A = this chain, B = another copy of it.
Amino acid sequence: MDNNIAKNFIESLIFSAEEPLTKESMKKMLSYYGDFDLDLILRELKNDYKNRGVELIELEKRFYFKTADTLNDYMRIETKKTRNLSPAAMETLAIISYHQPVTRAEIEKIRGKPVFRGTLDTLLELKWIKPSGRRETPGRPVTWVTDFEFLKHFGLKSIKDLPKVDELESVIL
């Protein structure tokens, strides 16, 4: 093992270690392959990564790589994608918001057609609905209610802020 490989070896050890490495543990692993100047290697590595995307950190005599401080400003990324909700999901959501807590069978009765598990999953994933307690009827079906993100998305303070059904009837129906 030459000096360059020794340096690469240490570099890859620090990169792949699950925990920050101590000098002792690195020295021990190097010692299988020869006599090398670990301090020099670590100094060189620190220097190599000075202006890069990751930096070599020494903290309490342990070494590890982390993303560079210079990138801190760019590190909060929230990607937003808009997507159309399927008519089935919209209907199901509308029924849950007005009838909560409501069982799947009840949603199906109101819709007049089946509610597929995938539809509920979509709404669950969005954290717009969540399962609530069980209804004490045969089969003890789970009931569904709207979740926090639902209120957040529609800018509602509470579910009571939804327009009332009788209000709707006079306006829309």
Contact = CB atoms under 8 A, between A and B. Distances in A.
A52 interface: yes
Contacts of A74: 1, 5, 9, 33
A79 interface: yes
Contact of A65 (B7, B15, B33, B52): B15
B51 A4 contact: yes
Copies of this chain present in the complex amount to 2
A28 interface: yes
Interface string A34-74: 00000000000000000111100000000001011011001
A70 B16 CA distance: 15
A10 interface: yes
A64 to B, nearest CB: 12
Contacts of A11: 52-54
A37 B8 CA distance: 29
Contact of A53 (B8, B54, B71): B8
Contact of A79 (B13, B29, B70, B75): B29
Contact of A9 (B8, B15, B33, B53): B53
A15 B54 contact: yes
Contacts of A7: 53
Nearest to A31: B79
Nearest to A1: B74
Contacts of A52: 8, 11
A12 interface: yes
Interface of A: 1, 4-5, 7-13, 15-16, 18, 28-29, 32-33, 51-54, 65, 67-68, 70-71, 74-77, 79
